[in-house]
Amino acid sequence: MTACRCGGTLELDRAYLADAERFGLRDEVPLMWKCMMCGRSQRSDTRVPLGMVTPPPPARSGPRLVP
């Protein structure tokens, strides 16, 4: 999964991962992806141990310099 139906980029849903850890679901959780453009969530059929999931760093705000 790399793109949403709207064309936006999908990233791991940080709030979902935080809730899974808070409720003690450490064995295996399905991956939840969130569109950065429209906010739609998509659930993956893949289940992984929560300790193996590393969310991407938070998006930077402000202008991005391109060399």
pLDDT (tens digit per residue) in 7-36:
888 888 888 888 888 888 777 888 888 998
SS3 annotation, the chain:
CCECCCCCEEEECHHHHHHHHHCCCCCCEEEEEEECCCCCEEEEEEEECHHHCCCCCCCCCCCCCCC
Residue 51 has pLDDT above 60, yes or no: yes
Q: Look up the pTM and report it.
A: 0.63
